[in-house]
Amino acid sequence: MRINRIDHVSINVNDLSAAKSFFLDLGLEVQAEWEMDGELLDRIVGLNDVKTACVGLGMPDGQAWIELVKYYSPSDGRDIQQPLANTLGISHICLAVEDIEAIVAKLKKKGTEIFSDIQQYEESYKLCYVRGPEGIILELAEKIK
């Protein structure tokens, strides 16, 4: 028995269009879009009367992707959470990037919340945390060559 790879990370969102645009602006590409409902989905996720819309976003190389999910029913009923970097649970997704300065400048122009200036970790990475739509935290990491 073994794990072969991480297939995807799923993020539940209210505004599927805004979340999709955010990741497209970062350079991810739509790999698939679909809607799903019915008894099979109810059994898979352990809820009743489920109806969703989904967008799968990834890189052209076909490795792991990000799956954005809008639950039309049942709805969560709570406000969007704004987690901090130290909030318990899954806190962020790290994207390996090239030209972190250009990416951060582009995100700032669009009004994205930037946690801090770009920081250098030893002689290995330049790092920066940003918050996308609906509280999604991304870490941008550029490997120093």
Taking 90 as the threshold, does the pLDDT of residue 86 lie above it?
no
Mean pLDDT of all residues belonging to the chain: 90
Note the pLDDT of residue 107: 94
Q: What is the mean pLDDT of residues 96-103?
A: 93
Higher pLDDT, 135 or 33: 33
**Per-residue pLDDT tens for 12-59?**
999 999 999 999 999 999 999 999 999 999 898 899 999 999 999 998
Ordered structural domains, the chain, with CATH: 8-73 (3.10.180.10), 93-143 (3.10.180.10)
Beta bridge mates, 91 = none
Contact 71, 116 (CB under 8 A): no
% of residues, the chain, pLDDT over 70: 99
* Dihedrals phi, psi of 120, to nearest 5 degrees: -105, 130
**Per-residue pLDDT tens for 47-82?**
999 999 999 999 877 778 999 999 999 988 777 777
CB atoms inside a 10 Å sphere around CB 86: 6
Taking 90 as the threshold, does the pLDDT of residue 103 lie above it?
yes
